[in-house]
Chains A and B, each alone.
Chain A
Amino acid sequence: MELHVRLSKFIRLSVAAMLAAMLSFVATANARIVVDINRGHADPLPIAITNLAGKESDIVSGGSVSEYGKRIAQVVKADLTRSGLFRMVDTAAFIKSGNGQVSLLNPAFNNWKAIGAQALMNGSISVEEDGRLKVEFRLWDILGAHQMTGLRYFTSPKNWRRIAHLIADAIYKRLTGESGYFDTRIVYISESGPATHKIKRLAIMDQDGYNHVFLTNGKNLVLTPRFSPTAQEITYLSYFNDNPRVYLYNIDSGKQEILGDFPGMTFAPRFSPDGNKVIMSQAYKGNSDIYVMELSTRKITRLTKNTAIDTSPSYSPDSRYITFNSDRGGSQQIYVMEANGKNIKRISFGKGRYGTPVWSPRGDLIAFTRQYKGKFYIGVMRPDGSGERLLSESYLDEGPTWSPNGRVIMFFRQQPYDRKGHGGETQLWTVDLTGYNERQIITPLEASDPAWSPLIR
């Protein structure tokens, strides 16, 4: 099973992942350990991640394979720790108590059990004749004393971080029963300079903030980037020539093109789940309505026709519905309509204003920004408006985006200014669907408008 992954002009690799061939116990389906993803904050699973064993003497570009084995383990640990569902068991404690001889295929289950580990990842790393790294890992159930999964990857040394994320995804999936989200990227707006003249640039990075690249130079104001479902394209708003319009950016080629020939400002773009359409708003003569453009034919269809502000549209994952915000009822609220613009229904009825609805990739929830009594909240509700839960709160939280497995929400948070007008820093944050595990994503400069990619394939 060979997967050829075309990522971008920055990253190209072919990952060959061989599953199960080297494993005999995979078919033992019912693992004894399961991470309950819905209450992950309460009992993070103790897991031991050992450095991948490799020779000090095998040198590839960037260091010895032994060094790469340590780096990969560090990134796996960081990914799993950030999820809030796992607690890292200190592997040094085990090595000291053991006899120094580590058997990869026959772990000393009792010793691991003694220091509290319920799961163990071990593995090896070596270099192929063509210079690629060969990375193998196995995940073990300590209490059940058997192997849960194992995979082998080949890639060039410079792509080692992706291998680490793929391993973390495989562990996450095996232990939670749901897809991971570590082998993903974030496109966002990097901000610098004073608030009155912010310089804003399109930027892209791995989900953990590494492999950061600026995509635009800051000359034009850019806002609200969103990924296509292949993560190869981005649609966003640019003030190129002082004319705010929706653009398409191809990550592979770096090519940018305007979408459509609208007389008024186009904004709030987002791809349809199949990637064939971009839905957006046009503001014309003081009225904003929602339009959809077929990318292959550039045919434009108007979906709403109302004197109110209709914007921030987002498709349901089955493409049958669109959620958006509108002030047609007197204040900004969330609505759901059929994809053809029919049967518009309001779904938000709490106090305050509701905006930026984004449909979960699982389809079961809509994330939103709520404003109430001087605070901003990120929350979720079901598509019929029931079951509202608020996940975060601050002076200004805005713009949720979903991890591809629908378990984590990223948003941006702006701090208030002090009396002298200083402050107002803006950064990216994540919060679990449980409302726990709030964490800041570190970026080189200030950051806003994050969009999470699908899993890279």
Chain B
Amino acid sequence: MLEKIIGVKYWVLIGTALLLSACANTGAVKNTPTEPVAAQPKQEPVVAEPAEPVVAEPMMEDTGTQASLDAAASDSLVHFAYDRYDLSADARAKLKEQADWLQAHSDVRVTVEGHCDERGTREYNLALGDRRANSVKNYLVALGVDPARIRTISYGKERPLVTGTGEAVWAQNRRGYTRVN
């Protein structure tokens, strides 16, 4: 029984180490050809040392994630009318869900992205996207979220959610999206 518990503890440690190294590696260039490795000289015999005690603690599920916000608040999205940045009743209801979630996850910071459809000129849409992102931020702040936790950015018409032609498509692209940092 004791052995089994210790075994579990080691697996937790190994798993954590793998996770850490995976994180550390994400910035590395992929597809780098493997360099040839020279054969190691004959290894010294390993001297076994007495095992140090390992302490394991239970971990709660991390709920401060994008997936969690998406699930709690309608995919973290709100939508806007053409060339508008005011919030509809529907958008306000969704932002209430976001605000509640943010209150429950007070250590999480977010970036609110403002997006536009393609039926406008590029620079005007950058300004309009900034208005939309700030509409979302201001409403979240009015609902009690600390403004220091919310950054805004406009992508104008540069990052449509869907491609296509017609109002149904454009309406999906006129959006504010709350991104967990």
Task: Say whether A325 faces chain B, with CB atoms less than 8 Å apart.
Answer: yes
Interface stretch (choices B35-43, B65-73, B155-163): B155-163
Contact A309 B128 (CB under 8 A): yes
Residues B146-181 near A (CB distance < 8 A): 153-154, 158-165, 169
Residue of A223, A265, A268, A396 ringed by the most chain B CB atoms within 10 A: A265
**What chain B residues lie within 8 Å of A421 (beta carbons)?**
162-164, 169
Contact B163 A196 (CB under 8 A): yes
Contact A224 B123 (CB under 8 A): yes
Q: How far is the CB of B152 from chain A (nearest CB, A)?
A: 8
**What chain A residues lie within 8 Å of B134 (beta carbons)?**
285-286
Of B121, B158, B160, the contact of A399 (CB 8 Å cutoff): B121
**What chain A residues lie within 8 Å of B105 (beta carbons)?**
none
Per-residue 0/1 for A302-313: is the Cβ within 8 Å of any B Cβ (1 yes, 0 no)? 000000010110
Given known A265-B126, A399-B122, contact A194–B154 (CB-CB < 8 A):
no
Per-residue 0/1 for A272-289: is the Cβ within 8 Å of any B Cβ (1 yes, 0 no)? 000000000101011110
Residue in chain B with minimal CB distance to A424: B163
Given known A196-B160, A331-B83, A421-B163, contact A267–B123 (CB-CB < 8 A):
yes
Residues B62-94 near A (CB distance < 8 A): 83, 85
**What chain A residues lie within 8 Å of B158 (beta carbons)?**
198, 200, 221, 223
User: How far is A332 from B126 in the complex, measured between Cα atoms in Å?
Assistant: 13
Per-residue 0/1 for B124-142: is the Cβ within 8 Å of any A Cβ (1 yes, 0 no)? 1011101101110010000
Of B85, B127, B128, B164, the contact of A419 (CB 8 Å cutoff): B164
Residues A315-340 near B (CB distance < 8 A): 325, 327, 331-332
User: How far is A419 from B131 in the complex, measured between Cα atoms in Å?
Assistant: 31
User: How far is A179 from B162 in the complex, measured between Cα atoms in Å?
Assistant: 45
- A-B residue pair count with CB separations less than 8 angstroms: 104
Of B118, B122, B130, the contact of A283 (CB 8 Å cutoff): B130
Task: Say whether A177 faces chain B, with CB atoms less than 8 Å apart.
Answer: no
* Chain A residues with a Cβ closer than 8 Å to the other chain, count: 48
Q: How far is the CB of B171 from chain A (nearest CB, A)?
A: 15
Task: Say whether A9 faces chain B, with CB atoms less than 8 Å apart.
Answer: no
Contact B118 A311 (CB under 8 A): no
Task: Say whether A195 faces chain B, with CB atoms less than 8 Å apart.
Answer: yes
Given known A196-B159, A196-B161, A197-B159, contact A244–B127 (CB-CB < 8 A):
no
Task: Say whether B15 faces chain A, with CB atoms less than 8 Å apart.
Answer: no
Task: Say whether B144 faces chain A, with CB atoms less than 8 Å apart.
Answer: no
Task: Say whether B120 faces chain A, with CB atoms less than 8 Å apart.
Answer: yes
Residue in chain B with minimal CB distance to A285: B134
Contact A267 B118 (CB under 8 A): no
Contact A242 B124 (CB under 8 A): no
Contact B126 A195 (CB under 8 A): no
Given known A285-B134, A286-B134, A414-B118, contact A311–B124 (CB-CB < 8 A):
yes
What range describes how many residues of B lie at the interface?
Answer: 20 to 34
Given known A265-B130, A286-B134, A421-B162, contact A244–B120 (CB-CB < 8 A):
no
User: How far is A452 from B121 in the complex, measured between Cα atoms in Å?
Assistant: 19
**What chain B residues lie within 8 Å of A285 (beta carbons)?**
134
Task: Say whether A417 faces chain B, with CB atoms less than 8 Å apart.
Answer: yes
Residues B101-120 near A (CB distance < 8 A): 111, 118-120
Q: How far is the CB of B140 from chain A (nearest CB, A)?
A: 13
Task: Say whether A184 faces chain B, with CB atoms less than 8 Å apart.
Answer: no
Residue in chain B with minimal CB distance to A284: B130
Per-residue 0/1 for A400-434: is the Cβ within 8 Å of any B Cβ (1 yes, 0 no)? 00000000000000101111011010000000000
User: How far is A244 from B127 in the complex, measured between Cα atoms in Å?
Assistant: 12
Contact A311 B163 (CB under 8 A): no
Contact B165 A416 (CB under 8 A): yes
User: How far is A197 from B165 in the complex, measured between Cα atoms in Å?
Assistant: 17
**What chain B residues lie within 8 Å of A200 (beta carbons)?**
158
Residue of B111, B119, B130, B161 ringed by the most chain A CB atoms within 10 A: B130
Residue in chain B with minimal CB distance to A194: B163
User: How far is A168 from B134 in the complex, measured between Cα atoms in Å?
Assistant: 52
**What chain A residues lie within 8 Å of B154 (beta carbons)?**
244, 265, 283
Residues B4-63 near A (CB distance < 8 A): none
User: How far is A356 from B121 in the complex, measured between Cα atoms in Å?
Assistant: 7
User: How far is A418 from B127 in the complex, measured between Cα atoms in Å?
Assistant: 28
Q: How far is the CB of B146 from chain A (nearest CB, A)?
A: 16
Residue in chain A with minimal CB distance to B123: A268
Given known A196-B161, A283-B154, contact A224–B130 (CB-CB < 8 A):
no
User: How far is A355 from B162 in the complex, measured between Cα atoms in Å?
Assistant: 25
User: How far is A195 from B165 in the complex, measured between Cα atoms in Å?
Assistant: 12
Residue in chain B with minimal CB distance to A289: B127
Contact A417 B123 (CB under 8 A): no
Given known A242-B153, A285-B134, A286-B134, contact A224–B122 (CB-CB < 8 A):
yes
Q: How far is the CB of B92 from chain A (nearest CB, A)?
A: 17
Q: How far is the CB of A243 from chain B (nearest CB, A)?
A: 8
Given known A196-B160, A244-B154, contact A398–B122 (CB-CB < 8 A):
yes
**What chain A residues lie within 8 Å of B119 (beta carbons)?**
371, 396
Other contacts beyond A283-B127, A395-B165, A399-B121: 17, CB < 8 A: A195-B163, A196-B159, A224-B122, A224-B123, A244-B126, A265-B130, A265-B154, A281-B123, A286-B134, A327-B124, A331-B83, A332-B124, A355-B120, A355-B123, A356-B121, A414-B118, A421-B164
7 A-B pairs with CB atoms under 8 Å apart are A195-B163, A267-B123, A283-B126, A283-B154, A286-B134, A332-B83, A417-B165
